[in-house]
Structure 1
Amino acid sequence: MTTPPPADHLAPDTLDTAQRHLVAKAIAEFSHERLIAPEPFDGGWRLVPPRGDAEYRFTAVRTELEHWIIDEAGLRRIIGGHDAALDAQALILELQPALGLSDGLLPLYLEEIASTLAGAMFKIAEKGPTANALASADFQTIESAMTEGHPGFVANNGRIGFGIVDHAAYAPESGRPFRLLWVAARRSASHLALGAGLDEETLLAGELSDLEHERFDSRLRDLGEDPSEFHLLPVHPWQWENRVTITFAPDLARRDLVLVGESVDEYRAQQSVRTMYNITNPHRHYVKTALAVQNMGFLRGLSPAYMRVTPAINDWVADLVARDDTLRASGFRVLRERASIGYTGDAYHRTTEPSAHRKMLAALWRESPTPLVSGTQHLATMAALLHRDSDGAALVTALIRASGIPATEWVRAYLDAYLRPVVHCLLAHDLAFMPHGENVILVLDGHVPTGAFMKDIGEEIAILAERSVPDEVRRTLSPVDDAEKALAVFTDVFDGVLRHLAGILHVDGTLPETEFWRLVAETVDAHAADHPDLDSSVDLRADTFAHSCLNRLQLRNTLRMVDLADQSASLMYAGTLRNPAGRSAFAPLLGVGS
C-alpha cells in the first residue's frame, strides 16, 4: 500500500492564521461591494450577520473607493458574549442571505473557500522570502512567492480537482519544475492556428530539439501511423491523468490521439496555474494548456473554436501597439500568443449545445518576456506590488526603498509605465485590456518600473467602439457607451489594482493616499495635455463612476462568472463610487481635463 503524502501544512496554527486573513478579507471586500454594511461600534466597527448568533468586531482604516483595511490581529468573532474561532466558511453561511448565494451553488463556493484556505496554509507554512529579498529576486522566484492571487476576489484560489500531490507538483507556490506531455492529434480532428510569419515547422523547431521531434515521430511510426498526419499538442500532466485518458478514451483507442512522449525542457507554473514558463530554455515560449480545475468562477479550459483566431488577434494588437509612439515611449509591449492548437475530433464537439467538455484539449504558445529585456533590467509580475511577506512587510515599499528615489517619483514612474499606456489604448484606440496584476509583467531597472508587458490578449481584449478591423478580429468588437467604456480604467485599474496599492502605501506610511491619487490625476491630465487632438468623450476625471462588482459575479454563478462572448451584459453594479482622482478631489492639474 502506498503511503499517503503528508499534509503537514494543514495544522491548527496555519489554519488560525489563514482563517484570520480570509475572514478579514471577506468582510472588507463584501463591505466594499455593499453586500454588507458594518456599523460603528465602540470606537471601531461591528458586523451582525443576518443568520446565526455571531457578531464580528474590528477596527479598520477606510481609504478611498470605500476600501477597508481591517486590523487582522484585533478581529473578533463573538458568540454569546464569548470569543469564538474565526471561520471563513461559517462566515459565508452566516452571510448567505446578504450575499445572494443560492442554495444550489453554496456547497461549491464553500469548497472554493476551503481550497483557498488550503493554499494559504501551504504558503504560511513555507513562509517564503522576505520582502527585502524579493525586491532583488529573479522573475520566477517572485512569481512563486506570491500569496494573494486576485486581490478583490474572496474565493480566489479554488483549484477544485487538485489533490495534495497535484498541489505539491503543479501549484505556482510550490515552485517545482515539471515536464509537459506531448500528444499527437490527428490533423483531420484538430486545428492549428499560426501567427503572421510563423509556420508549423518553425514553431516546433523553436520548442523541441531535433532529437525530441524524431523520438515523437518514431513513436507514431512504431504504431504504424504516419507522423505527417498528426499535429503535436502539449498537454499538462494533470490533464492527461485526470481528463484525457478518461474523457477521451475512445479517441486514444482510435489513435486520433497518441501520447508520444514527455518534454526534455522543464517548466514552472505561473500565477494563472495553467500557464507554464520554460525554465530550461527561458527564451522559448510560455505554454498555456487546458486545465479542467474549477477556479474563481470558471473551469479553466481552453476552447479550440475560440482560439482559432487568437494568433490573428494578437498580431493585430501587437502591430497597433508597436506603431504607436506614445506606447513605445512608455515602454509598453504585448506578449503575443503566436500559435494555438485544439482537438475537435471528440463526440463533445458534435453535441447540439456547447459545453466545458469542448475545452478540455487545447494549448497556445505565448512569447516569453525574458529575451525581450537586457542589461540591468529585470522582470516581476505586477501582482508583486500588492504582496506582503509572512511578517507583513510590503514588497512595493521594499522596492521603493531599494530604488533610492522618493516614493512620489517611484509611483509616478510606475503610473507612466502602467496607467498611461492603458489610458492611451482606451482613448486613442478604444482598446481595453484586462490589466490586473497577473496579466501585467513589469520591467524594472534599478528597482524602478520602466515599462510593462501585457499578456492574455486573445481571450481578454475588447474593442469598445465600432471600428474597421480584419474579420478575424471582429469578435473582439463590443461597442458600449462612454460611461461604460471608462470602466475599463475605473473598474479594472482604479478599483481593481490601484485601490489596493494606494491602501498599502498609505498604511505603511510610504505615501499618503491623497498624494497617490494626485499622481493618478496628474498622469491622466498629462496624457490629455500631450494629446490635445484626441477625439474621445471618455472622462477619466469624472467625479463618480458606476461601482462594478466582481464578487457579486462569482456569488451569482460560481461555475461561470461571465459570458466571455458578452461580458458587458454580465456585469453587476452597486450604485456609484466617488472617483479619488476626480475633479472634485483635484482641480485639473495641467489646465486640461474638461
Structure 2
Amino acid sequence: MSPMSPMNTHHLTPDRMALAQRAQAAKTLGELAHECLLRPVPDGDRWVVAGDDPTVAWTFAARRLPLDHWQVDPGSIRRTVGGAPSVVDAQQLVLDLREQLGLSDTVLPTYLEEVAATLAGRAWKLRPDAPTSAELADADLQTVEAAMTEGHPCFVANNGRIGFGVDDYLAYAPEVGPRVHLEWLAVRAEHAVYAGVAGLEDQRALLSTQLDDDERDGFEKVLRDRGLDPRAYLLVPCHPWQWRNKIAVTFAPQVASDDVVHVGTGRDAMQPQQSLRTFFDLDRPERHYVKTALSVLNMGFMRGLSAAYMAVTPAINAWVDELVRTDPVLEGLGFEVLREVAAVGYRHPLHEQHGPSPYQKMLAALWRESPTSRLGEGERAATMASLLHVDAAGCSFAAELVARSGLEPRAWVARYLRAYLEPVLHCFHAHRFVFMPHGENVILVLRDHVPVRVLMKDIGEEVGLFDTAREVPEEVRRIQADLPEHQQVLAIASDVVDCFLRFLAAALDEAGTLAADDFWAEVAACVEAYQSAHPELAASFATHDLFAPTFERMCMNRLQLRDNQQMVDLGDPSSALQLADPLPNPLSAHRGSTR
C-alpha cells in the first residue's frame, strides 16, 4: 500500500466517526465537569451545559459516582442551537465552550487538531476485527498492549501525536500493532554521553546482549568503510520517523560532517508501546525495551529525550532498584522495578549553546529491562491500563478477569490492591518516595486471571523523592522534589485514587460486577490494613491523611488547556498543580468499616 493510497484512510468512515464523536464528547463533558471547568445543571433526568453563546446547549444523561465521577452516556448527548437539534461534534463542543475553558488564541487551534487526531484514533480502534475483552483475557502482553483504546484516562485530547501523517499513524501507532525496525545511528562520542548500570559502563557490553554479533559488526563496518574509527562513536537507536523527519534534516550539517552517521536498520522487529516512543522486541522478547526520542507533540509535551537526563538515568534506576530490593515489605509483596539500565544521548554542538529547547532532545535513547524475564511458571503480564479497557461491545476487560478468576469481585479487588496499592503506599510512607503509577506505567503479573504483583516502569523521568534532606548520590539529586508537605499526599490521592482507581471503580460498576461504593470500601480496607501493619509510620499516616473528608482536586486537563506545548516544567513539580474545588474523598466514609 503506497503512502498516498486512499486505503490509508479506510477507517475514517461516517459511521465510525459518528461513534467516535459521541465517545469523545462524553469524555469531554465528564472529565471537564469533574475538573469543575463545566458545572452541568440538572434538568429532569438529564444535565445541561450552556455554551458561551446562551442559545447553544449540550444536554446528556449521566450517572454520578463517588469521587465526583461523571459516567456520561454517549448515546444521550444532544446539541441544540436556539432549541433546534444540531450534530454532535467534539471539536464544536470545545469551540462552544472556549471561554469557559479559558482557551487562548494560541492554544485553541492546536488543541482542536489534537481532538481531531484523537477522533481519528478512536475511529481506527472501532475496527470490526478489534479483539474483544473475552479474547484479551488470555492474550499475551503485546496483544493486550496493542488493543488498548482509551489512552490516558484523565486527558480529553490524549492521542494528538502532532507530526504524524496518516501513513505514519498506520506505521507507528501503538494500537495498530505494527512491526517496526529501528534505525541505528553512530554519533561522535566527543559530542555524546553514555551511561550504564554496573557491568554495562561500556556500551559494547550492553550492545553484546542487544544486537547480534554480525549485526553490530555490520554497523561498525559502515564506519570503517568511510574511513572512520568505530571506537570514536557511540550507537543510538532511532525511531524511523525521527530519522527521516528530524535528524536527516535538522541535523543535516552533522550528517554531512560524519558527526552523525546512519549505519543501518535494526534486524529485530519491534512493537511500539502505548507510550508511543518505546518499543518491545518481538523477535527476542528477553531483550530490553528501547525508548527513543520522538519530536512529536502528544498530550502536552514534545516527546524528546534529553542527553542531560540520559547521563543520570541509569544511576537513578540503580538507586531506586536498591531501595526496592532491600525493603523486606516490598520484597514480600513481589514489587519490582524494570530498570532503565543504559542510556545514550547526543549533544548537538550548536543547540547546546542556547537555553533549553526541544532541539536538545532529538537524538537519545535508553534501554529498559523486559518484563518477560520476571515471570514465573503460570504467570503472564499485561499493562495495568487494560483494567480500564472496554471493548466495542461495551464489555469491561477487568470484569472479564473477575469472572474468569472464580473469585468474588471484592476478593479479586482486594488481591489487586495488595499487589498494586500496598507497595505504592509503602514507598510513600516509609521512604517519602513516589512513582507516576498510572496504568501505562505499571505491568500487572497475573496468575489465573488475578493480579499477584506489579512491575513499575518509567523510573528515570517519573519518580520523585520528597525527602530533600536525605543523602543521595549526586546523580540522583535530580529526583528530590521540594513540594509543600500538605500537597505531598496528592501523589496518592490524585495520581492513584483519582487518576486511576476512580476509572476502575466506574468500569466495574458500569459492568454490574461491583458497585462503586463497595469498591471504595475495599480500597479503604486496604489502606487500613496497611496502616495497622505498620504502626511505626503513624506520624506519616496522620500528616498525609488518606481518610480526610476531602482532598485537593488536581486538574490534568486544565494543564493542557493552559499550554499544550509544554504542559509542565519537569524540574518544578509544583507547576503541575492546577487545583479546583475540594474533592469529596470516598475513603472517608469507610474508615473503620469491616468487609
TM-score tier, shorter chain, comes to: over 0.9
Is contact 2:547–2:591 with CA below 8 Å preserved after alignment? no
Is contact 1:483–1:538 with CA below 8 Å preserved after alignment? yes
Q: After superposing the two structures, state which structure 1 stretch, 477-486 or 538-547, moved more.
A: 477-486
Which residue of structure 2 lines up, in the alignment, with residue 587 of structure 1? 591
Which residue of structure 2 lines up, in the alignment, with residue 264 of structure 1? 267
Match of 1:48, as an amino acid?
A
Give the TM-score, by structure 1 length.
Answer: 0.97
1:30-82 CA distance string (max 9 Å, x none): 00000011101022111111136321111111001110001111211122333
- Equivalent runs, 1:401-440 vs 2, <5 Å: 401-440=403-442
Query: Is the aligned partner of 1:323 residue 2:329?
Result: no
- Equivalent runs, 1:288-367 vs 2, <5 Å: 288-351=291-354, 353-367=355-369
Which residue of structure 1 lines up, in the alignment, with residue 124 of structure 2? 122
Q: After superposing the two structures, state which structure 1 stretch, 467-476 or 208-217, moved more.
A: 467-476
2:60 corresponds, among 49, 58, 74, to: 58
- Equivalent runs, 1:175-324 vs 2, <5 Å: 175-199=177-201, 200-324=203-327
Is contact 1:127–1:390 with CA below 8 Å preserved after alignment? no
Which residue of structure 1 lines up, in the alignment, with residue 392 of structure 2? 390
Query: Is the aligned partner of 1:482 residue 2:491?
Result: no
Is contact 2:156–2:557 with CA below 8 Å preserved after alignment? yes
Which residue of structure 2 lines up, in the alignment, with residue 151 of structure 1? 153
Deviation at 1:176, TM superposition (A): 1.1
1:422-479 CA distance string (max 9 Å, x none): 1110000000110101000100000000000111100010011222211111111113
Match of 2:511, as an amino acid?
D
- Equivalent runs, 1:13-92 vs 2, <5 Å: 13-51=15-53, 53-92=55-94
Looking at structure 2, the residues matched to 124 and 492 of structure 1 have their Cα atoms a distance apart, in angstroms, of: 29
1:310-353 CA distance string (max 9 Å, x none): 100000001100111111121211010001100013311122x1
Looking at structure 1, the residues matched to 94 and 507 of structure 2 have their Cα atoms a distance apart, in angstroms, of: 26
Is contact 1:5–1:164 with CA below 8 Å preserved after alignment? no
Q: Secondary structure at the match of 2:286?
A: coil
Percent of aligned pairs sharing the same letter: 48
Which consecutive residues of structure 1, in runs of 5 or more, have no partner in the other structure? none
Query: Is the aligned partner of 1:160 residue 2:195?
Result: no
User: How many residue pairs end up in the alignment?
Assistant: 588
Looking at structure 2, the residues matched to 128 and 12 of structure 1 have their Cα atoms a distance apart, in angstroms, of: 18
Query: Is the aligned partner of 1:508 residue 2:511?
Result: yes
Looking at structure 1, the residues matched to 248 and 590 of structure 2 have their Cα atoms a distance apart, in angstroms, of: 60
Is contact 2:520–2:586 with CA below 8 Å preserved after alignment? yes
Looking at structure 2, the residues matched to 505 and 231 of structure 1 have their Cα atoms a distance apart, in angstroms, of: 49
1:80-131 CA distance string (max 9 Å, x none): 3332111111111111111111111110000000110111111112551111
Q: Secondary structure at the match of 1:128?
A: coil
Looking at structure 2, the residues matched to 132 and 264 of structure 1 have their Cα atoms a distance apart, in angstroms, of: 34
Deviation at 1:13, TM superposition (A): 0.7
Which residue of structure 1 lines up, in the alignment, with residue 12 of structure 2? 10
Match of 1:443, as an amino acid?
V
Q: Secondary structure at the match of 1:521?
A: helix
Q: Secondary structure at the match of 1:565?
A: coil
Is contact 1:318–1:336 with CA below 8 Å preserved after alignment? yes
Which residue of structure 1 lines up, in the alignment, with residue 525 of structure 2? 522
Deviation at 1:219, TM superposition (A): 0.4
Is contact 1:439–1:455 with CA below 8 Å preserved after alignment? yes
Over aligned residue pairs, what C-alpha RMSD do you find? 1.4
Query: Is the aligned partner of 1:496 residue 2:502?
Result: no
Looking at structure 1, the residues matched to 486 and 128 of structure 2 have their Cα atoms a distance apart, in angstroms, of: 45
Match of 2:586, as an amino acid?
P
Which residue of structure 1 lines up, in the alignment, with residue 572 of structure 2? 566
Q: Secondary structure at the match of 1:517?
A: helix
Give the TM-score, by structure 2 length.
Answer: 0.97
Q: Secondary structure at the match of 1:533?
A: helix
Q: Secondary structure at the match of 2:51?
A: coil
1:444 corresponds, among 435, 439, 446, to: 446
Looking at structure 1, the residues matched to 210 and 591 of structure 2 have their Cα atoms a distance apart, in angstroms, of: 53
Which residue of structure 2 lines up, in the alignment, with residue 546 of structure 1? 552
Moved over 4 A (4+): none
Is contact 1:190–1:344 with CA below 8 Å preserved after alignment? yes
Looking at structure 1, the residues matched to 437 and 117 of structure 2 have their Cα atoms a distance apart, in angstroms, of: 25
Looking at structure 1, the residues matched to 261 and 216 of structure 2 have their Cα atoms a distance apart, in angstroms, of: 14
1:349-373 CA distance string (max 9 Å, x none): 122x111100000000000001110
Query: Is the aligned partner of 1:576 residue 2:582?
Result: yes
Query: Is the aligned partner of 1:94 residue 2:96?
Result: yes
